[in-house]
Amino acid sequence: MYNDVIMAGFGGQGIMLIGNLLAYAAIREDKNVTYLPSYGVEMRGGTANCSVVIDERPIGSPVVGRPLSLIIMNRPSLLKFEPRMKSGGIIILNKTLVDPEVSERNDIDLVAIDLNEVSEKAAGSPRLANMVALGAYVQKSGVVAVESVTAALKDALHAKYHKMIPANKKAIEAGAAAAS
Amino acid sequence: MYNDVIMAGFGGQGIMLIGNLLAYAAIREDKNVTYLPSYGVEMRGGTANCSVVIDERPIGSPVVGRPLSLIIMNRPSLLKFEPRMKSGGIIILNKTLVDPEVSERNDIDLVAIDLNEVSEKAAGSPRLANMVALGAYVQKSGVVAVESVTAALKDALHAKYHKMIPANKKAIEAGAAAAS
Amino acid sequence: MKQVFKRPESMTDKLFHFCPGCHHGIVHRLVAEAIDHFAVREKTIGVASVGCSVFLYDYFAVDVIEAPHGRAAAVATGTKRVLQDHVVFTYQGDGDLAAIGTAEVIHAANRGDNITVIFVNNGIYGMTGGQMAPTTLLGQRSTTSPYGRENRRDGYPIKMTEMLAALEGPSLVSRVAVNTPGNVKKARKVIRQAFQMQLEGKGFSFVEVLSTCPTNWGMTPQAANDRIAEEMIPYFPLGTLKQKDVIDVL
Amino acid sequence: MKQVFKRPESMTDKLFHFCPGCHHGIVHRLVAEAIDHFAVREKTIGVASVGCSVFLYDYFAVDVIEAPHGRAAAVATGTKRVLQDHVVFTYQGDGDLAAIGTAEVIHAANRGDNITVIFVNNGIYGMTGGQMAPTTLLGQRSTTSPYGRENRRDGYPIKMTEMLAALEGPSLVSRVAVNTPGNVKKARKVIRQAFQMQLEGKGFSFVEVLSTCPTNWGMTPQAANDRIAEEMIPYFPLGTLKQKDVIDVL
Amino acid sequence: MPKVEIDIERCKGCALCVDACPEHVLELGKGINLSGYQYVVVVSPEACIGCCRCAEMCPDVALAVWR
Amino acid sequence: MPKVEIDIERCKGCALCVDACPEHVLELGKGINLSGYQYVVVVSPEACIGCCRCAEMCPDVALAVWR
Amino acid sequence: MSSPKKVFTKGNEAIAMAAINAGCHYYFGYPITPQNEIPEYMAEHLPAVGGEFLQAESEIASINMLLGAAATGVRAMTSSSGPGISLMQEGFSYFAGNELPAVVVNMSRQGPGLGGINATQGDYFQSVKGGGHGDYKLIVLAPHTGQELYDLTIKAFELAEKYRMLTLVLGDAILGQIKEPIVPWIPQKTAGDPDRDWVISGAKGRAPRKITSLFLADGEMEKHNWHLQEKYERLERDDVMFEEVDTEDAELVVVAFGSVARIVKSAIAQVREAGMKVGLLRPITLFPFPRQAMLKLGGRTKRYLVAEMNTGQMVEDVRLSLPGDCQVDFYGRPGGSVPTPEDLFAVISENYSKLEMGK
Amino acid sequence: MSSPKKVFTKGNEAIAMAAINAGCHYYFGYPITPQNEIPEYMAEHLPAVGGEFLQAESEIASINMLLGAAATGVRAMTSSSGPGISLMQEGFSYFAGNELPAVVVNMSRQGPGLGGINATQGDYFQSVKGGGHGDYKLIVLAPHTGQELYDLTIKAFELAEKYRMLTLVLGDAILGQIKEPIVPWIPQKTAGDPDRDWVISGAKGRAPRKITSLFLADGEMEKHNWHLQEKYERLERDDVMFEEVDTEDAELVVVAFGSVARIVKSAIAQVREAGMKVGLLRPITLFPFPRQAMLKLGGRTKRYLVAEMNTGQMVEDVRLSLPGDCQVDFYGRPGGSVPTPEDLFAVISENYSKLEMGK
Ligand SMILES: Cc1ncc(C[n+]2csc(CCOP(=O)(O)OP(=O)(O)O)c2C)c(N)n1
Ligand SMILES: Cc1ncc(C[n+]2csc(CCOP(=O)(O)OP(=O)(O)O)c2C)c(N)n1
Ligand code: SF4
Ligand code: SF4
Ligand code: SF4
Ligand code: SF4
Ligand code: SF4
Ligand code: SF4
Ligand SMILES: [Mg+2]
Ligand SMILES: [Mg+2]
């Protein structure tokens, strides 16, 4: 089934990494996938975002005009992307930095999680907030299995970070739990 | 009346100067005129040529495909331009350097003059062979009056060469005489 | 009590887009201070280059022309030839000035064009994400020298200041750094001098500023700052290599 | 009786298109002699530039690539990176190398590319009819400096040899002249040395040859020849400014 | 008494000022500003000698000094 | 005996060789070659010392020398 | 030797990977967004195959280094975007005049001027009409997926050699930055024939050769120009590539290339579901343009919509190709504003409904 | 102030003279045949009017110096040919993006590559389609006589200022080198209004200004692009120029520009004498192209012959402009082989006779 998501936040919040990870998870499930990052000048000081499209059939547009889902890590990203969402979509919102009240849509499914806290608890550091968010999104959307995501960690992470896989796994699973 | 001529020779034989001079003479007679030089890389070692078109009416093409007349100062120029000439045209040929036997056309009017000799006699030096040739051409074609040419010397020559006008005048007139 | 340090008046309020700890911000401030010092904001024209400093016009309260990558010196020449009583400066990175813009800066210098060139050498292409610059140090890794810069393939880190000083044209050719409060003060003095040269009609002035790029050096701001003293200055020694004090006319 | 002077074998029979007395012909011969000397005609590749020497391929019995104006050094770099055991040289005028081609020659030199650059400095744009070159002397008239070159507008005659010698990259940087039989002999030696450097893998070698352009200087060949000693050499002193004897690798 | 003031919304938490201050007046705080940066705070205001070393090093012109 | 030979069709009459010859062996002649140039001639063959100075200066490689 | 294993690859990397697998061991280039992953990949991987990666001092140096390498007959490439490609126009013209083969990638970005770094198709004219001086053409290939970026890069080297022409792979910021799974493969021939009679290799045992585009003798340059034209005609006869989707029964055909064509595919799937008979013609070679295919299609379908991320460029070639009785409309989004499938759905539907009304 | 006295002037000099008389006091350029008389004239005459002539180190420096000067609002120009113009393409694109006015002369010569120095029209596409990156246009004027070189140079400065666009005067080696008598004159307005709100002059008593073509915020670049297009449409509405000769009763219309149009005029005089009803449409603005004029003419005359000194470039714009039922043939001579009036007489006659047969 066709699915898409836009993930957005500050540069440094690990947006690109979870985008890639999701894509690798889809590949593990033999699905087609496109991952399209924003990049360039925006990196400095601005926001970073990426779009992931997953489908069983060949993917047409990698550009997502009206996203089905969002992972939102900071306020400017919510302001930018929420209005474009399709009705009925899912938002995973980083409650640590963004007040859920800022959301203006009531035709969507808003999952606000204190990502830093969950990360801290699950993995001993707030730095895996991105993984928590991804876990939550995957659980909520069912686009791929949570196991595929954790299994894909070794595809998406550079070998020298493989020792961090267990912590990441915990964060993902904690995110999934928080969303279910 | 429409008239055109191509003048050609070695660089250094003063081709461009007589082309300009003829143009100035035409302007003195209130005619329209275009002067189109060849130029550039060809200057080094190669041949130089220019085309002059004179008409009472506005001039269309400044490019002369099949010339009515030629002033030919060296052998390569004869070989290059003679075949293109219109039937009945005039060639003023520099006999000092080119054997008239080289000419292959018999439908044209070939005026072969030992230009260096005429120049030497008229002006005390062989260096005004170009003026002799122009005098001959103007006389033969009647395109402008010989007096217009001699009068135009002060237009075409840089002020610092004005002291040479009398010698040039003599050469032009000697050329006209040689052709009549 | 008097305010002894404040935002220069030639600057706007806009927040820099630079990464944390990036020296571009310091250099921006010093240039603005020089403009304030001579009270020439209203007759100063900045020529921005393409690089992390491309948004010069957002931060300086002066007229700014954004030049194509590498061509700031040529653009500044064109502007200055028209507005001869204005102050024209360029602000260029090392990719901009020492790679694609080599010919333009050398010929502006050689002509002795009466402009000021601020050359921010951070040994990397910052804006495009960390490729090797002509000034990247030997052995330094970058995204296009993943195994370290190697002189036989990539050449030596180019010393623009030394090369320009070999020309007759320029009036001031100097290299400074902004890695310590003391060096910042020296840099302030030299940058001010560069503008003064121009105001006095003495011709081309050039200040190379050794600068950090914590992001693309893959370092914390402090580590990057330290690297200036440890690695950059030894190869790119600080100091004024050339200074003309008279206006020479043929 | 033995023939002690003859046409080099690396040259074709074709008559030069150069104007009478033009030094390009002498420089062509010296380069061909160097190729003969090392017996490398069959593995030499010439890179011609745009200028009066554009027809290099008509006169040299070697493979030749005609480079766009100013870009001979970049073209040679591309060729040499592929054919590393071949001999690659460029032959460039002062307009070509010191104006439009400034960046290319500086960066080839800075990279220490293992090529030989023959730089014919006649202080004028010969081929295009006598415009001012970057090396035109102060006060000298040309079609684009009709009142004489003036440093405040046109800059100083640029000293490429001095500037390149300020770089770490090059292995041989030298200036010669061919205005007397003695200078021709010295030039022969240096040009030969330049090729030798390349054959030994020592990197970038550069020979500037002071040269006449009787046509565009508006002088007889003899007067032009004399001007080399009287005006050119005093400003552009002859000699080898840089010579590396070891191959340095990081 | 000399005084240093931080414009916390300009601060990017690079800590160059922290290193530059001879009197250890400044430190990175816990707070995060609107741009997401952990900003610097004055920890010993009384120690400030108004030397401006911090401000000279601040790439974001986030500091003002009185003396 | 040393000898200099001129390829008259290559000669452009620049006279650089004439100036270069210490023994005044060469001079511009009256003749004009096919390219229109007044070429150099050997006026005192016996004076030639085969030093090659002329040939070194000839931009058109029009001279050959035997010794 | 080819492996069916899929690798998750960024578009720019797919190109670099394909080039190396096609035997391209020489890369010269200068950084510019959004194509930096190409030089970066080359810098990392060329040393391992004994090749040379050289970062040039500028795009002008890049194209001229490429010229120097191409003259030796090896496979070589450069890549850039917008402003950098503009700086190479003199070089492109020399490549054409010199008849040298090489590959250039343009991951185009917004213009004019410094513009921005998002995707556009504003460089179509520059690519197919010739941004440099004189009468010449490049071969221009327009991939639309990661796999095609890979495949057409290999094709680019083959065509470049076949015709001794510069071949341009025209992508954009979307195609360069997108990551998707691709199947890499290695072509059979990965180098040009070393014995070709124009290759510069030192005049050993043969007459010296020259690479030049200077023609001064009377009529020579004209002859050379007609010779080039003859090649271009041969290209049009033998090597046109395009894709047709759902055109058999189409009452409206959308014409689009590159990333837009891909978005159009999504939109067409939607409009087909809504019962509209709409097809797609996607030129893969922009030069040679699929003129014959269009002409043929134009005998059947009379209504066309050209969709481009510019203010109207390929639409001219479409109009020039179709019979005079076809109606050609244009939908353009210049300056990096990428149309979404929804945008295209709306435009196509509207256009289609006009067709219904016209009936 | 104008004088009716004729002066015998080289085409290149006519341009330089006109520029100075139009108030252009800043010239930046780099030598290249066949336009060197322009910089040479400027070098000689600008000092006397207090202007600046500067020989740049390259064409890239020229166009960027021009950019720096143009930003101050003065009249300024550069000139070049073929390879030099190619090198300016990035600069042209920046001029368009920055909306700066200035004049560039291209005395075009044979291409591609180094080519040769004779006249061609091979740079038509480069001039009108945009050789640089992005969606942009130049105003392109194509004079065909010495007098027109003079007149259109003045016009070029006026249009450049009116639209804040780069205006290209496109000549060729014939037009640059030809000498003929012209009548110089001085226009009324010889400088732009110094108070224009974009002029860079130091932020004295006003907000700082910037000249930039960088647009990064969402949708800004698209807006800018449409804004530029709006100007291009205005140009097409208000400032198209063309000449029609003997078209009223023409059964065959020749379309030609620049020096070829002039040669065609001679040929048409001849064919008219031979009783053939042939006319000429000569676009003077190549961009904006006289589309409306062509469309109108196409309602009446159905047969066209486009004559160019290239392998077929303007012919595309002619085909795009005419109604679908017109027949457009092409006669091209690329690479500096200038057709003579006799050549054109032959081609026109032949074409005309097909027409007779067709009846
Ligand atoms: C003609 C052209 N080529 C390449 C680029 C891409 N580009 C933008 S900035 C830049 C270099 C930035 O490096 P530097 O000048 O050192 O400035 P920094 O960002 O390090 O301050 C490059 C190559 C461009 N915009 N234009
Ligand atoms: C891009 C480009 N710009 C300009 C020219 C015109 N051009 C041809 S040769 C030349 C300069 C010749 O001078 P130089 O390099 O000094 O060589 P010389 O003829 O003096 O030996 C110029 C500017 C060109 N061919 N290409
Ligand atoms: S990328 Fe480097 S140079 Fe650019 S703003 Fe960041 S730290 Fe500064
Ligand atoms: S123009 Fe000058 S450089 Fe060129 S061939 Fe003649 S004398 Fe030599
Ligand atoms: S002014 Fe001096 S003492 Fe005070 S905080 Fe800054 S550096 Fe420290
Ligand atoms: S130097 Fe400036 S930006 Fe950095 S931490 Fe201190 S106040 Fe903040
Ligand atoms: S070889 Fe010596 S002596 Fe003989 S002609 Fe030549 S220069 Fe004179
Ligand atoms: S130097 Fe050579 S070309 Fe000149 S006159 Fe002597 S022989 Fe002739
Ligand atoms: Mg940098
Ligand atoms: Mg020269």
- Cα angle D29, D31, D36; round to 5: 90
pLDDT at D250 over 60: no
Query: Nearest by CB to B40, which of H33, H179, H181?
Result: H33
> Testing the interface with D: which of B44, B47, B158, B160 to mutate, by most D Cβ within 10 A?
B44
H213 in a structural domain = no
Same-domain pairing of H143 and H253 = no
Q: Which residues surround ligand 9, an ion (CB under 5 A)?
A: C 93-94, 122, 126
Residue with tokens 């699973």, as numbered in its chain: A173
Q: Quick one: which of G119, G43, G57 has its CA closest to G87?
A: G57
**Average pLDDT for residues G9-16, to the nearest whole number?**
98
The pLDDT of residue A43: 45
Ligand 1 proximity of G85 Cβ (cutoff 6 Å) = no
| Average pLDDT over all residues of chain C | 96
Please tell me the total count of domains within chain G. 2
The residue whose CA is least distant from atom 2 of ligand 4 is D213
List, for residues G207-238, the tens digit of each pLDDT value.
999 999 999 888 899 999 999 999 999 999 99
Same-domain pairing of H257 and H199 = no
- Cα angle B86, H340, H119; round to 5: 135
Q: Are strands H102-108 and H139-141 parallel, antiparallel or unpaired?
A: unpaired
pLDDT at F37 over 50: yes
D180 in a structural domain = yes
Q: How far apart are CA H29 and CA H46, in angstroms?
A: 13
Residue of C nearest to E19 (CA): C222
The pLDDT of residue C181: 98
G2 in a structural domain = no
Q: If you measure from the C-alpha of residue E7 to the centroid of ligand 6, how many angstroms do you get, rounded to a whole number?
A: 9
CA separation (Å) from G180 to A145, G11, G172, G246, H88? 19, 8, 15, 25, 38
Residue of B nearest to H116 (CA): B41
Instruction: Determine H/E contact with 3+ CB pairs under 8 A as the test.
Output: no
pLDDT at G274 over 50: yes
Three-class SS state of G66: helix
Same-domain pairing of G199 and G248 = no
Strands of G252-255's sheet in order across = G242-245, G278-283, G252-255, G303-308, G327-332
Q: How far apart are CA F44 and CA D239, in angstroms?
A: 37
Query: Nearest by CB to A61, which of G177, G180, G262?
Result: G262
Query: What 8-state DSSP symbol labels residue C202?
Result: -
> Residue A58: what are its φ and ψ, rounded to 5°?
-55, 145
D250 in a structural domain = no
Cis preceding-peptide flag for E2 (omega within 30 of 0): no
- G4 contact partners, CB below 8 Å, separation of at least 6: G183
Residue with tokens 């006003």, as numbered in its chain: H206
Asked if this assembly's ipTM is beyond 0.95, the reply is: yes
CB B25 within 8 A of CB B17: no
Distance from CA of C127 to the nearest CA of H (A): 14
Domains in chain A (CATH in brackets) are: 3-179 (3.40.920.10)
User: How many Cα atoms within 13 Å fall on the side-chain side of residue H29?
Assistant: 31
Confidence of residue B42 (pLDDT cuts 50, 70, 90): very low
List, for residues D4-23, the tens digit of each pLDDT value.
999 999 999 999 999 999 99
Distance from CA of G199 to the nearest CA of A (A): 40
Same-domain pairing of G66 and G157 = yes
Domain containing residue C70: 24-243
Question: b/e map of G226-255 (b: 16 or more CB within 10 Å)?
Answer: bebbebbeebbeeebbbbebbbeebbbbbb
Four-residue CA torsion sign, G63, G66, G71, G76: negative
H220 in a structural domain = no
Q: Quick one: which of G47, G94, G87, G46 has its CA closest to G70?
A: G94
The pLDDT of residue H231: 98
Three-class SS state of C87: strand
Question: b/e map of H37-51 (b: 16 or more CB within 10 Å)?
Answer: bbbbbbbbbbeeeeb
The pLDDT of residue B1: 84
G124 in a structural domain = yes
CB F33 within 8 A of CB B10: no
Chain D residues in contact with G209 by the CB 8 A cut-off are 63-64
Structure tokens at C233: 């200055």
Residue of H nearest to C113 (CA): H54
Residue E15 CA: nearest ligand 6 atom is: 5
- Residue H23 CA from chain centroid, whole number: 19
Task: Please state, for a pLDDT cut of 90, what percent of chain D lies above it.
Answer: 96
Same-domain pairing of G67 and G183 = yes
Q: Quick one: which of D244, D204, D246, D11 has its CA closest to D90?
A: D204
Q: How far apart are CA C84 and CA D110, in angstroms?
A: 35
The pLDDT of residue D248: 55
Residue of E nearest to C224 (CA): E16
Ligand 4 proximity of D19 Cβ (cutoff 6 Å) = yes
Chain C residues in contact with E20 by the CB 8 A cut-off are 180-181
**Average pLDDT for residues G187-191, to the nearest whole number?**
93
Q: Is D17 at the interface with chain B, CB within 8 A?
A: yes
Torsion (CA) H175, H178, H182, H187 in degrees, nearest 10:
40
Structure tokens at H160: 């450049």
C9 in a structural domain = no
Same-domain pairing of G120 and G168 = yes
CATH code at position H266 = 3.40.50.920
List, for residues D111-128, the tens digit of each pLDDT value.
999 999 999 999 999 999
Structure tokens at D13: 């029979």
pLDDT at F55 over 80: yes
Which of A45-54, D172-181, F46-55, G268-277 is the least confident region?
A45-54
C248 in a structural domain = no
Q: Which residues surround ligand 10, an ion (CB under 5 A)?
A: D 93-94, 122, 126
What residues flank ligand 8, with Cβ below 6 Å? F 6, 11-17, 40, 57-58, 60, 62-63
Residue E55 CA: nearest ligand 5 atom is: 6
Confidence of residue C249 (pLDDT cuts 50, 70, 90): very low
Residue of B nearest to H268 (CA): B60
List, for residues H146-181, the tens digit of each pLDDT value.
999 999 999 999 999 999 999 999 999 999 999 999
Residue G8 pairs with which residues in a beta bridge? G181
* Contact: D125, H31; criterion CB under 8 Å: yes
Confidence of residue B153 (pLDDT cuts 50, 70, 90): very high
Q: How far apart are CA A50 and CA A39, in angstroms?
A: 9
> Testing the interface with C: which of G55, G107, G117 to mutate, by most C Cβ within 10 A?
G55
The pLDDT of residue G216: 86
C17 in a structural domain = no
G289 in a structural domain = yes
CATH code at position G152 = 3.40.50.970
Query: Nearest by CB to C162, which of D112, D155, D166?
Result: D166
Confidence of residue H356 (pLDDT cuts 50, 70, 90): confident
Same-domain pairing of H232 and H262 = no
The pLDDT of residue D246: 67
Same-domain pairing of G199 and G255 = no
CB E6 within 8 A of CB E40: yes
The residue whose CA is least distant from atom 10 of ligand 2 is D51
Task: Please state, for a pLDDT cut of 70, what percent of chain C lies above it.
Answer: 98
Same-domain pairing of G255 and G233 = no
The pLDDT of residue B39: 67
Four-residue CA torsion sign, D96, D99, D100, D102: positive
Ligand 7 proximity of F23 Cβ (cutoff 6 Å) = yes
The residue whose CA is least distant from atom 5 of ligand 1 is G32
D133 in a structural domain = yes
> Residue D8: what are its φ and ψ, rounded to 5°?
-65, 150
Please tell me the total count of domains within chain C. 1
Q: What is the CA radius of gyration of chain E?
A: 11
List, for residues C128-150, the tens digit of each pLDDT value.
999 999 999 999 999 999 999 99
The burial class, CB within 10 Å (0-12 / 13-18 / 19+), for A18 is buried
- Sequence-ordered alpha helix ranges (H) in C3-145: 24-38, 56-59, 72-82, 94-95, 102-111
Q: Is A41 at the interface with chain C, CB within 8 A?
A: yes
CB C56 within 8 A of CB C64: yes
Chain A residues in contact with C19 by the CB 8 A cut-off are 44-45
**Average pLDDT for residues G325-341, to the nearest whole number?**
93
Same-domain pairing of G59 and G198 = yes
G215 in a structural domain = no
The pLDDT of residue A40: 56
CB G324 within 8 A of CB H327: no
| Average pLDDT over all residues of chain B | 92
**Average pLDDT for residues D177-197, to the nearest whole number?**
98
H352 in a structural domain = yes
pLDDT at C68 over 50: yes
- D93 contact partners, CB below 8 Å, separation of at least 6: D49, D51, D52, D53, D119, D120, D121, D122, D125, D126, D127, D133
Same-domain pairing of H108 and H72 = yes
Which of B70-84, C202-216, H90-104 is the least confident region?
B70-84
pLDDT at B46 over 80: no
* Contact: B39, H340; criterion CB under 8 Å: no
CA separation (Å) from C177 to C27, C226, C239, E54, F58? 9, 12, 10, 16, 56
Chain D residues in contact with B41 by the CB 8 A cut-off are 17, 54, 127
- Residue G232 CA from chain centroid, whole number: 15
**Average pLDDT for residues H306-311, to the nearest whole number?**
98
Distance from CA of D222 to the nearest CA of F (A): 6
List, for residues H329-347, the tens digit of each pLDDT value.
999 999 888 999 999 999 9
Domain containing residue G126: 7-203+226-237
Confidence of residue G2 (pLDDT cuts 50, 70, 90): very low
The pLDDT of residue H1: 35
The burial class, CB within 10 Å (0-12 / 13-18 / 19+), for A11 is middle
- E5 contact partners, CB below 8 Å, separation of at least 6: E63, E64, E65, E66
- Stretches where chain A sits below pLDDT 50 are 42-43
- Residue of D15, D16, D17, D18 best suited for mutating to test ligand 4, as the one with most atoms within 8 Å of CB: D18
CB C23 within 8 A of CB C126: no
List, for residues G49-98, the tens digit of each pLDDT value.
999 999 999 999 999 999 999 999 999 999 999 999 999 999 999 999 99
The burial class, CB within 10 Å (0-12 / 13-18 / 19+), for H291 is middle
User: Count of CB contacts below 8 A, D vs F?
Assistant: 77
Q: Is H262 at the interface with chain B, CB within 8 A?
A: yes
Distance from CA of D18 to the nearest CA of F (A): 8
Ligand 5 proximity of E23 Cβ (cutoff 6 Å) = yes
Crossing angle between the packed helical segments D72-82 and D102-111, to the nearest 10 degrees: 30
Chain H neighbours (≥3 Cβ pairs under 8 A) are B, C, D, G
- A147 contact partners, CB below 8 Å, separation of at least 6: none
**H/E element holding F27?**
strand F26-32
Q: Quick one: which of H210, H234, H194 has its CA closest to H99?
A: H210
| Average pLDDT over all residues of chain H | 95
**H/E element holding C45?**
strand C44-48
> Residue H162: what are its φ and ψ, rounded to 5°?
-60, -40
List, for residues D50-86, the tens digit of each pLDDT value.
999 999 999 999 999 999 999 999 999 999 999 999 9
* Contact: F37, D20; criterion CB under 8 Å: yes
H196 in a structural domain = yes
Q: What is the separation, in whole angstroms, between the first and last Cα of chain F?
A: 6
Number of helices (H), then strands (E), in chain E = 2, 4
**H/E element holding G53?**
strand G52-55
Residue of A nearest to C50 (CA): A41
List, for residues H182-200, the tens digit of each pLDDT value.
999 999 999 888 789 999 9
D238 in a structural domain = yes
Same-domain pairing of H30 and H56 = yes
Three-class SS state of G64: helix
CATH code at position D236 = 3.40.50.970
